[in-house]
């Protein structure tokens, strides 16, 4: 794998929220393998984050609390990143939440769930960018710092775990475009938009349902977490003249 460095040859500093999930952990591994110093951000899974950090390639990785719905805690995170590294080159907003509720079950979407979804999936990424903006502005990456928002095909298809989840990912894609305009030229902002990803959580679900989802995808399978992680790396390292766009990693699902 081609190593990822700043223009001065330093290791990029990458902060990943939701790092202990199946997708977040793979993103951390891929960024570390590419040469980044990784901050594995977690909400409550401190031990899992510490275990992940200990397994990453290279050194100078850290597990730090990053509860994206707590702006005061994110300010402390920014202070810690500033103390340890002095800058942030890549921010991956991978923290997210959902719950399965049939789209026609409007009463099943109680206000607490709606507020939790929007606070985590929309306000959370914005709050992370707001907290880390001064450190992102100090990035030494060619093309500027990179913010990668992990979105979903649900933003486009309006099909997913529930109505508000779909809306939250559509809002996140819109946020990507607005922030890309606001933060250019020093900070690029991109959405990586997976289809259904075959994480351990998804593998634990009904096999017939998983097979049906794969059959609906033109490429005939679900996404592998590593494929999403490689898209994140490409957006941060290689696509230096691209910002404000949505990068699909969905096997062509919207074609059907």
User: Which pLDDT tens digit goes with each residue over 133-142?
Assistant: 999 999 999 9
Q: Which of 242, 243, 195 is nearest to 222 (CA)?
A: 195
User: What number is the average pLDDT over the span 232-239?
Assistant: 97
Note whether residue 8 is domain-resident.
no
% of the chain residues with pLDDT over 70: 99
C-alpha dist (Å) from residue 111 to 91, 107, 117, 118, 166: 30, 9, 10, 11, 16
Asked if residues 59 and 13 have their Cβ atoms less than 8 Å apart, the reply is no
Note whether residue 221 is domain-resident.
yes
Please report the pLDDT score of residue 195 as a whole number. Answer: 87
Checking if the pLDDT of 1 tops 60, the result is: no
**If you ran DSSP here, which 8-state letter would residue 197 be given?**
B
For residue 177, give its domain range.
Answer: 13-245
Q: Which of 122, 144, 117, 143 is nearest to 133 (CA)?
A: 144
- Alpha helix segments (H runs only) across 14-90: 22-34, 46-55, 71-84
Note whether residue 254 is domain-resident.
no
Note whether residue 30 is domain-resident.
yes
Domain of 140, CATH number, reads 3.40.50.720
Helix (H, G, I), strand (E, B) or coil at 223: strand
Note whether residue 185 is domain-resident.
yes
- CA 86, distance to chain mean position in Å, is 22
Rg, C-alpha atoms of the chain: 17
The count of structural domains within the chain is 1
Note whether residue 118 is domain-resident.
yes
Note whether residue 2 is domain-resident.
no
Max mean pLDDT range (102-106, 156-160, 195-199):
102-106
Note whether residue 23 is domain-resident.
yes
Q: Which residues are catalytic?
A: 165
Q: Which of 131, 7, 14 is nearest to 69 (CA)?
A: 131
Checking if the pLDDT of 210 tops 70, the result is: yes
Its pTM surpasses 0.85: yes
């Amino acid at each position: 794998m081609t190593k990822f460095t700043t223009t001065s040859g330093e290791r990029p500093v990458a902060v990943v929220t939701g790092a202990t999930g199946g997708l977040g952990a793979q993103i951390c591994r891929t960024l570390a393998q590419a040469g980044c110093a990784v901050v594995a951000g977690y909400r409550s899974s401190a031990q899992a984050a510490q275990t992940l950090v200990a397994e990453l390639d290279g050194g100078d990785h850290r597990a730090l609390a990053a509860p994206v719905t707590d702006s005061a805690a994110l300010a402390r995170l920014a202070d810690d990143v500033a103390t340890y590294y002095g800058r942030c080159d890549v921010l991956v907003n991978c923290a997210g939440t959902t719950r399965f509720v049939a789209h026609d079950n409007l009463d099943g979407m109680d206000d607490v769930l709606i507020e939790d979804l929007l606070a985590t999936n929309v306000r959370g990424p914005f709050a992370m960018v707001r907290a880390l903006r001064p450190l992102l502005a100090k990035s030494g990456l060619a093309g500027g710092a990179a913010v990668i928002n992990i979105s979903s095909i649900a933003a486009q298809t309006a099909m997913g775990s529930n109505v508000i989840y779909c809306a939250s990912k559509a809002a996140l894609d819109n946020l990507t475009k607005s922030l890309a305009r606001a933060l250019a030229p020093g900070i690029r902002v991109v959405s990586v938009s997976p289809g259904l990803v075959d994480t351990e959580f998804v593998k634990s679900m009904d096999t017939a349902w998983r097979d049906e989802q794969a059959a609906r995808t033109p490429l005939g399978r679900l996404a592998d977490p590593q494929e999403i992680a490689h898209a994140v790396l490409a957006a941060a390292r290689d696509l230096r003249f691209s910002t404000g766009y949505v990068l699909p990693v969905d096997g062509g699902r919207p074609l059907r």
